[in-house]
A and B are shown apart, each in its own frame.
Chain A
């Protein structure tokens, strides 16, 4: 069974990907660290920046 953190992390990355703040592969990569609480500032920044590069704002 998933822990509460894992369950919530899955909901969050799915929404971040849906709102195009993260790419889907990036969201999958972040999932485990997000649930464990080991996501660093660099991880967040790099993931969001890569999403900007792939999907620049209009």
Chain B
């Protein structure tokens, strides 16, 4: 049974005028006979256009873009119309000026497999790569292969990482062992010891270092104090002496002037200030007498000048008195600083953070500069002990820090190694599964195709010693397919021994086997003049095989230019169509 009703072609290839091919409902095998150039290939091309939006008969002829050869003579791409009516409805192919093919409605687009004589070469006679290309859509698992390659590379990288981690771990273990030995190899083992040391930490050493630094710093500050105290004391003594001398000079001046000269000078200075503002008074501002008021300002100025040396001496007294006050304040300040520094040192000396075995000054600090000097010189040699104690603790702290770092690195590397040791075997197992399944899948598919080919081929060539076709992927080459066969019980390459006719039938068998793999019930198979080399003996058999196989497909169309094939048809099962001679006016008919 066929669901196809009619194929209509207009403006396409040889169909200068619209041409219709009617199918017969009860026959799913159609044989189209026509002389050369009668339009058989136009029918095949039309079906291919509908199913695959291409015209394969023009491929590989050195034509470049072939769309310009699609329209009939005098027609354009937009004149092309190919439709296929079936029980489900009508599917129409049209072409835009750009060459884009539009199929409407898309769900009715038929699946079409077209096999032409020139394709036999790609299946049988050409290179392994070309043969692979012909079957690649059934066995091409390049997507999975790419993912498999990624996994393989990942495993390689992780193995390198694992080796690196193992080497680092070994180095870490050596380092920790060296630390352990440096510390006297405490029981029970290096890693238990290292973990305990890591737990203890460096806090105790930090505190001791801090206390030792504070003690040393306090001691250093004490060292400055004697000289500063002495200097301040000397300054105060000198200032006192200067002040006393200045006072004595004033007293000497006062002896030379009248009693109360100081008060007189003050009065004169006040009058002088008054006369600056009132230069020509009518009377004396003190006694209010108008007598001698004239030239009063000049006379007062003269008298004030006579007191200048006394003024100078009085200024010296004021200055030296201020200097004495400053020197005494400075002395008090330094004494206060000294008290504070001594207190700080005492605090540092009694710090509980200091190492218990640290040597310290036996005596308390005396309360005098000279006593302090002597105390400092007595304690001077202790500084070296304190520095040694601090350096020892620095070393110990650094030791613990480095040990901690080594232990942490060891733990990180141990963890990384453990993770990789868990992960890598699983990855390798996963890769093995991917490889196994890929090989099984590909081999299975090839065996399935080869089995089908063998079955079909044996039906065409029974008892000829040519059987058991094999398809083999070359494991050393990508996308490379070899065809093998048994000839007289020997494994061989069919291209080396088979006749052209045998190769043609082998090609047809391969094509039918491949077409049957992919949704055959919905596939229209078109064999375009592929049997020209088949002799009479085999013609009946191949026809029988194709007729039998056509039942598996939606429809099977065979074209031939050999008149003798008409006699081989079975009128009950085969739909026969004879094309007339093609002409420029009528086209395909």
Q: How far is the CA of A5 from the CA of B441 in the complex (A)?
A: 10
Given A37-B147, A41-B154, A48-B423: A12 and B434 within 8 A (CB)? yes
Given A4-B139, A15-B433: A9 and B426 within 8 A (CB)? no
CB pair A52–B141 under 8 Å, yes or no, is no
CB pair B426–A21 under 8 Å, yes or no, is yes
Q: How far is the CA of A48 from the CA of B139 in the complex (A)?
A: 27
Q: How far is the CA of A39 from the CA of B437 in the complex (A)?
A: 17
> Which chain A residues lie closer than 8 Å to B146 at the CB level?
37-39
B window 124-157: CB within 8 A of A: 137-147, 150-151, 153-154, 157
Q: Closest CB of chain B to A16's CB: distance in Å?
A: 6
Q: How far is the CA of A36 from the CA of B423 in the complex (A)?
A: 24
CB pair B433–A16 under 8 Å, yes or no, is yes
A window 39-58: CB within 8 A of B: 39-41, 44-45, 48-49, 51-52, 56-57
CB pair B140–A5 under 8 Å, yes or no, is yes
CB pair A1–B519 under 8 Å, yes or no, is yes
Q: Does B430 contact A (CB under 8 A)?
A: yes
> Which chain A residues lie closer than 8 Å to B434 at the CB level?
12
B 162-198 binary contact with A (CB < 8 Å = 1; else 0): 0000000000000000000000000000000000000
Which interface class (under 10, 10 to 19, 20 to 34, 35 or more) fits A? 20 to 34
B 482-522 binary contact with A (CB < 8 Å = 1; else 0): 00000000000000000000000000000000000011000
> Which chain B residues lie closer than 8 Å to A56 at the CB level?
422
CB pair B143–A48 under 8 Å, yes or no, is no
> Which chain A residues lie closer than 8 Å to B445 at the CB level?
4
B window 296-324: CB within 8 A of A: none
Contacting residue for B141 out of A1, A5, A15, A41, CB 8 A: A5
CB pair B157–A41 under 8 Å, yes or no, is yes
CB pair B441–A8 under 8 Å, yes or no, is yes
Contacting residue for A48 out of B144, B427, B437, CB 8 A: B427
> Which chain A residues lie closer than 8 Å to B437 at the CB level?
8, 11-12, 15
Contacting residue for A21 out of B143, B145, B422, B429, CB 8 A: B429
> Which chain B residues lie closer than 8 Å to A44 at the CB level?
147, 150-151, 154, 427, 430
Residue of A nearest to B147 (CB): A39
Q: Closest CB of chain B to A10's CB: distance in Å?
A: 10
Q: Does B538 contact A (CB under 8 A)?
A: no
> Which chain B residues lie closer than 8 Å to A22 at the CB level?
430
Q: Closest CB of chain B to A6's CB: distance in Å?
A: 8
Q: Does A28 contact B (CB under 8 A)?
A: no
Q: Does B566 contact A (CB under 8 A)?
A: no
CB pair B426–A37 under 8 Å, yes or no, is no
Given A37-B143, A40-B150, A41-B154: A3 and B137 within 8 A (CB)? yes
CB pair A39–B519 under 8 Å, yes or no, is no
Residue of B nearest to A32 (CB): B143
CB pair B423–A45 under 8 Å, yes or no, is yes
Given A5-B141, A44-B150: A12 and B433 within 8 A (CB)? yes
> Which chain A residues lie closer than 8 Å to B430 at the CB level?
16, 21-22, 44, 48
CB pair A4–B150 under 8 Å, yes or no, is no
Give 15 CB contacts A-B under 8 Å: A3-B137, A4-B138, A7-B441, A8-B438, A15-B433, A16-B430, A34-B147, A37-B142, A37-B144, A38-B147, A40-B150, A44-B151, A45-B158, A45-B423, A48-B426
Q: Which of A's residues lie within 8 Å of B, judged by CB? A: 1, 3-9, 11-12, 15-16, 19, 21-22, 33-41, 44-45, 48-49, 51-52, 56-57
